[in-house]
Amino acid sequence: EIMRIEDQALRWFDLPSAAHFQYLDAALAQITQMWNDKYKSSLKTRKCVMMLVVNGTSKTPVQVNRVHALSGREAMVIPCPGYDEYSKQLMPQGAALFFGYSSRKAVRELGVVNFLVDTTAFSVKVSNVGSLKPSPKPGFAPYVQ
């Protein structure tokens, strides 16, 4: 169930170590494994894209303008320390995990799930085939997983 995966992710990112961005790779690996276990029988038709974005160098908040799975369902946001859900702002040293998954029809027709995070500081596009096209603006360092 998606809610169980999201709950586990929230528990991971509530850990004190998450505030210092330690062990994030391990957390993402576990979330990915949970997703794969859930959809083991239908991985050919169901794709998931997860992306961790960190406002690593800015001294001011970054506004998240748009988060969208371009071929499929809307993305979910799992707030990490420093992400304000109400204002949709990524605070300095803040992080958010964007979690998008496709419809079966989109994957059958397009074969790929593109995922876009657009902010006032950078725009990152990623797809499930491993292509990564970040276009950061000066002074910002998004971290993409």
Residue matched to tokens 């397009």 = 110
pLDDT of residue 135: 40
Strands across the sheet containing 48-54: 48-54, 95-101, 76-79
Mean pLDDT of 52-72: 75
Is the per-residue pLDDT at 92 higher than 50? Answer: yes
Percent of the chain with pLDDT over 90: 1
Confidence label for 123 from pLDDT (cuts 50, 70 and 90) = confident
pTM for the model: 0.56
Is the per-residue pLDDT at 132 higher than 50? Answer: no
- Give the whole-angstrom CA distance, residue 116 versus residue 126: 7
Sign of torsion over alpha carbons 85, 78, 99, 122? positive
Strand partners, 64: 119
